[in-house]
Structure 1
Amino acid sequence: MSESSPRRLRTLWYRIPVVHQFRQSIGLQRGMLVTGLVITGFFLLVAALAPVISPYRFNQLRDVHGLFGAQNPPSAAHLLGTTSGGYDVLSRVIWGTQTAFLVIVVAILLSFFVGVFLGLLSGYLGGWLDRVLVVIADAVYAFPSLLLAIVAAIVISGGQSSLWGGVLAAAISITAVFIPQYFRVIRSETIRIKSEAFVESAKVIGASTPRIMFRHVLRNSTRTLPLILTLNSSEAILTLAGLGFLGFGIEPTSAAEWGYDLNKAVSDVTSGIWWTSVFPGLAIVLVVLGVTLVGESLNDLADPRLRTRRRAAAQTPADAMAASEPVSEAAVELP
């Protein structure tokens, strides 16, 4: 292996988005980013290892000793107690991480591709198509997001469904809310970029419209999308929890869902039974906190004004050098 290979690998490693932002961050920004990554990484690990670390299945009501019993306090057999339906609280919380992240992935992917594609078409082609899409996007964006998600969930699944039916219903409901956000960001960036010199050069040499749109305009208009992805992930968790809390979530025999568990625990609180609501609610708060900290940190690091302040406040030459590097390299490529 040549001497340049380790250097090349190190350069590629430093260009990974989160690693690149971590090297730039100092002080409070670095603390927020690390805290958010630790919390989010912990729940991702829990979701991946749920079948291994969970003491019971999410829909299990009995073991070899008989039924679990309803509303039992925390004990050696049930570390976080049992719910009013007789489910193990710890198992429901662990399995709920899988449902939450599955909905996030499906919702973000659907809204990302649809919103980006429509924003690119609208911004580059303009005309009547642009006017129609802008009116539709503004109307959807102005609609209350949770109410829109409820309507979509009712239309798609009637509010009650199996695991994949519930996941798709919740994801599509959230997608309807997120598409206008990606649409507006990509459209505005496309309108700005399509007048750049390298786009005009591509037109002069005869490049086709699809090639210009996807090869030159799109790749230069998506730099802020990672920030929106992280912030939308936390909003997706809250929307999913809201749907479940209002009774439009996933059946407990099909999957574990934190919002549904909170809905069933409302009556327990007045009776002094705290464990059925505290732990699902704490899981929602921690996941949203972790994802939000990551998103806010990336948002701060993408702001040139904040990067200038960090440069001025850097206390060591190494920190000053790291803080002065650009957040992302412009992917401008001449045809």
Structure 2
Amino acid sequence: MATELVPSGHPTTLPPANGSFWGRLPVLKQLRQSVGLQRGMLVAGLAITALFLLVAAFAPLIAPYGFAQLRDDSGPFGAQQPPSATHIMGTTVGGYDVFSRVIWGTQTAVLVIVVAVVFSIFIGILLGLVSGYIGGWLDRVLVVIGDAVYAFPSLLLAIVLSIVISGGQSSLWGGIFAAALSITVVFIPQYYRVIRAETIRIKAEPYVESAKMLGASAPRIMFRHVLRNATRTLPIIFTLNSSEALLTLAGLGFLGFGIEPTAAAEWGYDLNKALSDVTSGIWWTALYPGLAIVLAVLGITLVGESLNDLADPRLRARRRVKARATTATTTATAAAAAPDTTTEEKS
């Protein structure tokens, strides 16, 4: 808080420069900075992503049946039943309720995203800090390894690791860790590159040199001074990688290397089993899982792309110039439309 003397000579307290606590939160701060179409994209992405997370959190309450349930008190569901009051999205070729499978699939997707992206963030940050700060032969070796892994196709790596870990037929956590591990290995070089570049830039700053002069140890400088200023762009990479993690999981399931239907619901697996239905005119078994994948990826991507645009100072400068030009044009138009009171007074 800052103080200022008013004309009476008494100090008064000024509000913080960055606004309230809610205004300083990462996403809300960018939401206040956005304007026009950019704000619309960010709001739409946040709404879709929030709905995706809420459905995952309350899946047991929303889904009328279990993800592997084939019958109820009235008997078996039946295979490929059209949408009705009992099954609002119909049933699959295996006799599962489509609506319940779509709802339970959100939980599987969220678990894979969290495990994969969180693991890759921690490992990538650690390697980037050590490589950028220490340098030398260790830095050169890590750069070569990172470039080699980054060039490897992520889906192919996911298939190989899925077979190695679970033989291609996995349980819930086996399938989640198989997909998450493959995604983690591919995403680590992205976080490593960003943190390494920022670390190399920050370690030449005067406050880092001052900390060295005062005798601070290398780990203290890395984690106390460098890390805090090197992770500002991570939320943007996190959102963009989350959508890619979801697509990788769906690709594994679609190719038949995903999670067994009796272990968990997974949208890619349901799409794979619905391929033959589409040619027979049975549209509901493929439409809803595919729509869930598209909406989830779209929401996360809209948030990530909007945050990426708002983080670019050149785009912010263009918006400010455009806003000033619009204001000036409006003011000039209003002044031209105002009546000439001087002429009226003379007459």
1:140-182: CA deviation from partner (whole Å, max 9, x where unpaired): 0011111111112111221211111111111111111101110
Post-superposition offset of 1:313? 2.4
Highest relative contact order (Cα 8 Å, sep 6+), 1 or 2? 1
Q: Is 1:98 aligned with 2:107?
A: yes
Q: Distance in 1 between matches of 2:75 and 2:206?
A: 74
Q: Is 1:249 aligned with 2:258?
A: yes
Does the CA contact (< 8 Å) of 2:67 and 2:265 recur in 1?
A: yes
The alignment partner of 1:308 has SS state of: helix
Post-superposition offset of 1:6? 9.3
Q: Distance in 2 between matches of 1:274 and 1:224?
A: 42
2:233 corresponding residue in structure 1 = 224
Q: Distance in 2 between matches of 1:91 and 1:35?
A: 25
2:120 corresponding residue in structure 1 = 111
Q: Distance in 1 between matches of 2:248 and 2:140?
A: 29
Does the CA contact (< 8 Å) of 2:42 and 2:303 recur in 1?
A: yes
Query: Map of 1:106-185 to 2, 5 A cutoff?
Result: 106-185=115-194
Does the CA contact (< 8 Å) of 2:128 and 2:193 recur in 1?
A: yes
1:328 corresponding residue in structure 2 = none
1:177 is matched by which residue type in structure 2?
A: V
Q: Distance in 2 between matches of 1:265 and 1:313?
A: 50
267 and 179 in structure 1: CA distance in 2 versus 1, 3 angstrom threshold: same
Q: Distance in 1 between matches of 2:171 and 2:312?
A: 43
Post-superposition offset of 1:314? 2.5
Query: Map of 1:281-292 to 2, 5 A cutoff?
Result: 281-292=290-301
Q: Distance in 2 between matches of 1:177 and 1:244?
A: 18
306 and 74 in structure 1: CA distance in 2 versus 1, 3 angstrom threshold: same
Residue of structure 2 aligned with 1:201, choices 204, 207, 210 = 210
Superposition RMSD in Å: 1.7
Does the CA contact (< 8 Å) of 2:18 and 2:24 recur in 1?
A: no
Residue of structure 2 aligned with 1:78, choices 87, 94, 114 = 87
Count of residues in correspondence between the two structures: 315
Post-superposition offset of 1:5? 12
1:268 corresponding residue in structure 2 = 277
Does the CA contact (< 8 Å) of 1:61 and 1:86 recur in 2?
A: yes
Does the CA contact (< 8 Å) of 1:58 and 1:95 recur in 2?
A: yes
1:263 is matched by which residue type in structure 2?
A: N
Residue of structure 2 aligned with 1:213, choices 218, 222, 235 = 222
Q: Distance in 1 between matches of 2:189 and 2:226?
A: 19
Tell me the TM-score normalized by structure 2: 0.88
Query: Map of 1:180-191 to 2, 5 A cutoff?
Result: 180-191=189-200
Post-superposition offset of 1:310? 1.2
Post-superposition offset of 1:82? 0.3
Tell me the TM-score normalized by structure 1: 0.91
Does the CA contact (< 8 Å) of 1:26 and 1:314 recur in 2?
A: no
1:221-253: CA deviation from partner (whole Å, max 9, x where unpaired): 111111000000000000000011011110100
2:310 is matched by which residue type in structure 1?
A: L
200 and 264 in structure 1: CA distance in 2 versus 1, 3 angstrom threshold: same
Q: Is 1:296 aligned with 2:305?
A: yes
| Structure 2 unpaired stretches of 5+ | 1-11, 328-347
Post-superposition offset of 1:7? 7.1
Does the CA contact (< 8 Å) of 1:149 and 1:176 recur in 2?
A: no
1:267 is matched by which residue type in structure 2?
A: S
4+ residue runs of structure 1 moved beyond 6 angstroms? 3-9
2:319 corresponding residue in structure 1 = 310
18 and 208 in structure 1: CA distance in 2 versus 1, 3 angstrom threshold: same
1:333 corresponding residue in structure 2 = none
59 and 188 in structure 1: CA distance in 2 versus 1, 3 angstrom threshold: same
Q: Distance in 1 between matches of 2:18 and 2:220?
A: 31
1:171-210: CA deviation from partner (whole Å, max 9, x where unpaired): 1111111011101111111111111111111101110000
Q: Is 1:66 aligned with 2:87?
A: no
Q: Distance in 2 between matches of 1:212 and 1:45?
A: 40
2:202 is matched by which residue type in structure 1?
A: I
Does the CA contact (< 8 Å) of 2:239 and 2:301 recur in 1?
A: yes
Structure showing greater radius of gyration is: 2
Q: Distance in 2 between matches of 1:183 and 1:265?
A: 39
1:130 is matched by which residue type in structure 2?
A: D
The alignment partner of 1:11 has SS state of: coil
2:147 is matched by which residue type in structure 1?
A: D
Q: Distance in 2 between matches of 1:182 and 1:121?
A: 13
Q: Distance in 1 between matches of 2:157 and 2:271?
A: 21
1:330 corresponding residue in structure 2 = none
Counting aligned pairs with the same residue, the percent is 77
